[in-house]
Structure 1
């Protein structure tokens, strides 16, 4: 028996395990696969000497996250590095809107699209820096963020708080139109919003574009030196230094519940692993509640709500080993760590609309990473390790022919902006949606975000109405995956929130009435 069992060694599970170990708990992490990290892993999958990030790659939220910062992972081997430019959005006509950490260079790029947009960008950035620290606390701390929210409101005052609240619900197109005149700045916002599954027209999508672009201006989009897996290695090293244990090849088949309380878990080989204080699950919400817990221990209304849980879109990702950097026709793109290409603002809307109707877009919008440009250790001198992904409708199966056609189309889009690209490919790896799920079972159907980022499945609606916090209807069981608030991204917040909830439950916070308060709130929702 240990104090806590953590199901899943993704970065959220490892963050939770570290925080519990910091509190003096004995912790055992059970991981279904043979490696830690979940979607934060790297390896040589294209050609010898070329390091690819298997899933996620650039980490502005991770770099800025107060959760990860407080863990001091630099003491456990994590170092960061930056590409010369943060992000370039390459339009079909060959122009590029380029975001640099140097504010003056960003302003100059955007000024080419519309007179005055450089200064408008500066004003937008000044507005961000005035609230950024408190905003990140509001976003990444447990819901409701009472202390951080009150601090933000006091700092802004009533009028500006209302203006900020309005900005949070604007679509990416509306936000861009209100802030800027030219397409360059607008398409930077909209392209970043499409890192989620939201279209440029969807309410609430603008805040994602605003967050990612402004963080890019403030701290860049850095990468771990040596690959994404170095972030995971630092979390593992830190946990082991505090006595934590990770068991690999141990898929959990059941959460053990007695009298409404989580007592531990059972793995697929029939072994029972007891937990004296808490079970924290870094797995998707439907898998936890419907597969591992079972309907017997859930309110019937919650089971009905879970039937309406919506995944984000599927993903196809291609990694390449290139014998030279990508030969972009627009040389401004050469130094960007991340490149968006394949669509202008209206093209982004058409692309998202096709996916929403279950169709495969003829013209894919690509998110592309130039990893050696960002980190020289990723491939031999003079070469490039690169990847690109695009979204697809979320569905059960994709044929080999469909995936091959998508890869052909992806490479054609790049070739159109970088003639000679195909001739530089010396190795290739393709992850279709099903491949992503096989590599990481939490990426269900190739969904990267643990569920849609739409407003109806965020905050106190995530993953279902009433579960905005990590607490669940099963006592001492806590949800710590990206299916929980605040959702996808590599920032560690869901894991940290779950650990804090477990510690609060164990301490009997609020005069021993913690569980009674949680149970009362859930009864009010589910009856």
Structure 2
């Protein structure tokens, strides 16, 4: 039987796996990335629509966290061909009655929009943004680095002082609805926060949902919601080009079926054809936590306490996404919506609460809350002149919309929702692609059941509780095996945090401090996992 060798094997060529591989090659390691599907990128990929000249992003489309992530910025992907584009306006939230709140990179335009709902909110929004500007770099570092963020946390404390830090901590724990009620007087600003909170899978009345709405709203005000020129695949292509320039290798269509473990240590992997790859220093896994632990490692190799924790691991909701090739721009009744790259559609605060309640109770929402992307508005290369490439997605309970008829019925609801606010929309449809939970998972096996965050973002599965109660780090109970996917802290979105954290943990384990590192981590693991 043939055996290949590399310093590190990375399982999965999603963006986190590629970030990790790049950092390891920067350190001089030989790296082999094994990807189960036919091409790299995972959820960061684009593809043509059935109508010639149209393209769409299959999953991720707007990338505000990429613009500020230390991991992504350090890779300097612009030197490898990546170019960013912006829509004229960042985001619009359309109310059920067709009023519209606008979030623009121009602070004065955002202020004018929220002031139309309550005059005092213009100053309140500016004050919130000024707070963000004071703490942005230290806060982002704190959120995206391994938990606990000792150095970044100290910088954050220095920039705020103890009293403000405590108030900030309280704010970050608030439900999005409560945060909006405390900070603003009008529904415009409140819905800009609440709608952004639902980019995660937690309801606006859940503790901790406010941080998602606040973070994305402030990023929108600060750096916008940029898109790669030519499609999301350009991020993947830049990561691949950078990796190749440093000698890293990617092999697609090569599914890993097992992690080789002996004496509590990861030695390498086995692929679907039985070929072994020996990893001299580390194995990093850009796959969901249950996939890594239960399918690739096996429960018999794991502490019983971890196996028990995985039994209650919670996935995020399933997703239904529709891509349209349109013969013209969407004819929004709300004029402010026409130049926005991203739209939140069709719900006020109570509507957002009902939508989340439906998901929690297992009901398919009758009035789905939509996140909609006008890709041609942001990047004219996405469709021929005078046309539009547009998508929308919404969440559904896990296990639903599996049949063709149920999926078609929900797509009809989605299109009716858009038609209500843009009369004539359906008459513009040249063709559509529909992606239900099953087809999303087929496209990317890490999107288990159509879950796009590799596990719920609810507070009980975040920080040191992600993916299970533990260290909040990339380390696993298996020595030299590291979790590099969105199942690990700091979670989903395209910021490269899990991949970066896993690579740095692998380097630390193999470095001069390796013995001390291993002893410290193993001691912590015994406390957490019981062995």
TM-score category (smaller protein): over 0.9
Indicate whether 1:516 and 2:519 are aligned: yes
For residues 219 and 436 of structure 1, what CA distance do their matches in structure 2 show? 29
**Per the alignment, in what secondary structure is the counterpart of residue 474 of structure 2?**
coil
**Per the alignment, in what secondary structure is the counterpart of residue 283 of structure 1?**
coil
1:342 CA displacement:
1.7
2:181 corresponds to: 177
Match of 1:410 among 414, 417, 441: 414
Q: How do 1:291-440 and structure 2 match up within 5 A?
A: 291-395=295-399, 398-440=402-444
1:193 corresponds to: 197
Indicate whether 1:20 and 2:40 are aligned: no
1:396 CA displacement:
6.8
Match of 2:255 among 239, 246, 251: 251
2:107 corresponds to: 103
- Contact 2:13–2:40 (8 Å) recurs in 1: yes
For residues 467 and 359 of structure 1, what CA distance do their matches in structure 2 show? 35
- Contact 2:195–2:344 (8 Å) recurs in 1: yes
Match of 1:217 among 221, 224, 233: 221
The number of equivalent residue pairs is: 526
1:93 corresponds to: 97
Match of 1:468 among 463, 466, 472: 472
1:359 CA displacement:
0.5
1:159 corresponds to: 163
1:7 CA displacement:
0.2
TM-score by length of 1: 0.99
TM-score by length of 2: 0.98
Unaligned stretches of 5+ in structure 1?
none
- Contact 1:508–1:514 (8 Å) recurs in 2: no
What does the per-residue CA deviation read over 1:360-385, in whole Å, with 9 as the maximum and x for residues that have no partner? Answer: 01000000000000001101011100
Indicate whether 1:204 and 2:208 are aligned: yes
Unaligned stretches of 5+ in structure 2?
none
Q: How do 1:123-162 and structure 2 match up within 5 A?
A: 123-162=127-166
Query: C-alpha root-mean-square deviation of aligned residues, in Å?
Result: 0.8
**Per the alignment, in what secondary structure is the counterpart of residue 343 of structure 1?**
coil
Indicate whether 1:74 and 2:113 are aligned: no
For residues 366 and 405 of structure 2, what CA distance do their matches in structure 1 show? 15
- Contact 2:330–2:338 (8 Å) recurs in 1: yes
For residues 251 and 6 of structure 1, what CA distance do their matches in structure 2 show? 12
- Contact 2:175–2:206 (8 Å) recurs in 1: yes
For residues 502 and 27 of structure 1, what CA distance do their matches in structure 2 show? 12
For residues 277 and 165 of structure 2, what CA distance do their matches in structure 1 show? 48
Indicate whether 1:526 and 2:496 are aligned: no
Indicate whether 1:53 and 2:76 are aligned: no
For residues 412 and 254 of structure 1, what CA distance do their matches in structure 2 show? 46
Indicate whether 1:121 and 2:125 are aligned: yes
For residues 397 and 47 of structure 1, what CA distance do their matches in structure 2 show? 26
1:235 corresponds to: 239
What does the per-residue CA deviation read over 1:405-464, in whole Å, with 9 as the maximum and x for residues that have no partner? Answer: 000000000000000101111010000000000000000000000100011100000000
For residues 194 and 396 of structure 1, what CA distance do their matches in structure 2 show? 19
2:497 corresponds to: 493
What does the per-residue CA deviation read over 1:222-278, in whole Å, with 9 as the maximum and x for residues that have no partner? Answer: 000000000000000000000000001011100001111101100111111111000
- Mark the CA change 1:396 to 1:245 in structure 2 (over 3 Å): closer, same or farther: farther
For residues 134 and 143 of structure 1, what CA distance do their matches in structure 2 show? 14
**Per the alignment, in what secondary structure is the counterpart of residue 338 of structure 1?**
strand
- Contact 2:9–2:31 (8 Å) recurs in 1: yes
**Per the alignment, in what secondary structure is the counterpart of residue 513 of structure 1?**
helix
1:467 CA displacement:
3.9
Match of 1:452 among 430, 450, 456: 456
- Contact 2:147–2:471 (8 Å) recurs in 1: no
Match of 2:9 among 5, 12, 34: 5
What does the per-residue CA deviation read over 1:437-495, in whole Å, with 9 as the maximum and x for residues that have no partner? Answer: 00000000000001000111000000000141000000000000000000000000000
1:77 CA displacement:
0.4
1:31 corresponds to: 35
- Mark the CA change 1:348 to 1:33 in structure 2 (over 3 Å): closer, same or farther: same
1:308 CA displacement:
0.7
What does the per-residue CA deviation read over 1:319-346, in whole Å, with 9 as the maximum and x for residues that have no partner? Answer: 0000100011111100000000021111
For residues 393 and 155 of structure 2, what CA distance do their matches in structure 1 show? 39
